[in-house]
A and B are shown apart, each in its own frame.
Chain A
Amino acid sequence: MHTDREYLAAGYVIGGLSADEAAEAERLLHEDAEFAREVADFEETMALVAADDEPMAPSEEAAQAILSIPRQNILAASGEPVRGSAPERGPVTGPGRQVRRNRPALYFALAASFLLLLCAVLGGVALRAQAENEQLRETVAGLDAEQQEVQRLLGAPDLAAQHVEVGDGSSVTVSYSVTEQLILVTPHDMEGPEEGQDLQMWIIDQDGAHDAGLMTAEGPAVVTGPSFSADAAVGITVEPEGGSEEPTSEPLVVAEL
């Protein structure tokens, strides 16, 4: 296959083509059997890559919601209870889609909508208060700075990562670049500390543990602190609120860089 067509087929499957390229790929897909075969082969390739993933069983709640989809759609379309393993499918209607999600998910969606509305109202109040407005600007500026650091990390030639299991089902990924002197700590399913406590990060080297800032269990944190080398480690401990000058508890996690 022509080199450009091979790229088009690969890009069509993994995404990221420009609009013109995607349109050309769509045209070829319908008009050129060889190209269609190439796309199918690449789709099969990515399916086999996915097969390397550890399968993850859906929760019972999700399973029940999914298994009820045929019945829910048929009920919504016909208005009558339907039993049997191979029913005739009726036309899919608006109501059919509305009942697709399980009830708890609907409650969560309603709660989320309410919270969004609340955030909007509170945001409006805050914008009217000069002091809070200033604080908001600083927060947004902080987010921008953090985004820029993550972008620098993404582009680092020596970008590497360590994934460490905590032992209670949670885990932590430490992404880092010695060249850029940046470390990003990302918790997964980690429980937050109790009231009056904080999670504190440490850079550990031959001189001991150095304060690297606080983090939350809810989201990624960029490490701030002393410079580090490739033979350092990153640790996380539970400390009194505000953090400590030295670790006062056994580390939850130590990730060797």
Chain B
Amino acid sequence: MNPPASLGGPDPCGELLVRTASGDAQAFEELFRGQGSVLLAVILRIVRSRALAEEILQDVFAEVWEDCSRFDPGRGSGRAWLITVSRRRAIDRVRSVSAQRERDTAHGEGQLRQESPDVQYEALENIESARAARAVQGLPEDQARAIALAYYHGMTHVEIADHLGVPLGTVKTRIRDGMRRLRTSLGVTDAH
């Protein structure tokens, strides 16, 4: 395995982003061909609707074309930046749809329910998906759950504490320790 780009390994994805930022359409196409399927999987894990995921993927690549000069090769790898953008857009969309549904329900229009991703159902699905990932499997269950609820479901740490019935400090500890363990097990860097 190549060393992670953040440790100075090769970063072809980052190089393509830099070229894309200068208006290189060929680099943009290579970026999509190389990363599109990975990003779609990341988005789909959050929204669980293929049609919606593909729409969000279009938004992500529109942002890449229009605004990828925000990517700083000195700060991290290209793929990490792309995944961060994809995850943020997916979470924003789920929140938007969920908020719309709550407004509709308040007005007695529950018809949208079956069309909308339900964040609670998604949380259940994604916890299990996260467990399936090899790296996450190695985490204690309470740490994996706290990370999955924040990362895939977009819950605040206060909300996670409420859902799990544990103090906020416990959630913070689980997230910090879990992320530290993940980082170490994936060889990104040693714990500080």
Contacts and interface: CB of A to CB of B under 8 A. Distances in A.
Interface of A: 1, 3, 6-7, 10-11, 13-18, 36, 38-59, 61-63, 65-67, 69-71, 73, 84-89, 92, 96-97, 100-102, 105, 116, 119-120, 123, 126-127, 133, 136, 139-140, 143, 147, 150-151, 153-155, 159, 161, 163, 173, 175, 184, 186, 188-189, 216, 218-220
B112 A56 contact: no
A18 B172 CA distance: 11
A24 B185 CA distance: 28
Contacts of B160: 16
A161 B124 contact: yes
12 contacts: A15-B154, A44-B4, A45-B188, A47-B80, A47-B83, A48-B4, A48-B188, A119-B104, A143-B105, A155-B165, A218-B114, A219-B114
Contacts of A69: 28, 58, 61-62, 65
Contacts of B55: 101, 105
Interface string B8-33: 00000000000000111111110010
A16 B121 contact: no
B178 to A, nearest CB: 8
A120 B109 contact: yes
Interface in B102-132: 104-105, 107-114, 118, 120-121, 123-125, 127-128, 130
Interface string B52-76: 0011011001100110000000011
Say which size band chain B's interface belongs to.
35 or more
Contacts of B96: none
A176 B158 CA distance: 24
Given A7-B172, A16-B156, A50 B186 contact: no
Interface of B: 4-6, 22-29, 32, 36-38, 40-42, 44-45, 48, 50, 54-55, 57-58, 61-62, 65-66, 75-77, 79-81, 83-84, 87, 91, 104-105, 107-114, 118, 120-121, 123-125, 127-128, 130, 133-136, 147, 149-151, 154-160, 163-165, 172-173, 175-176, 179-180, 182-183, 186, 188-189, 192
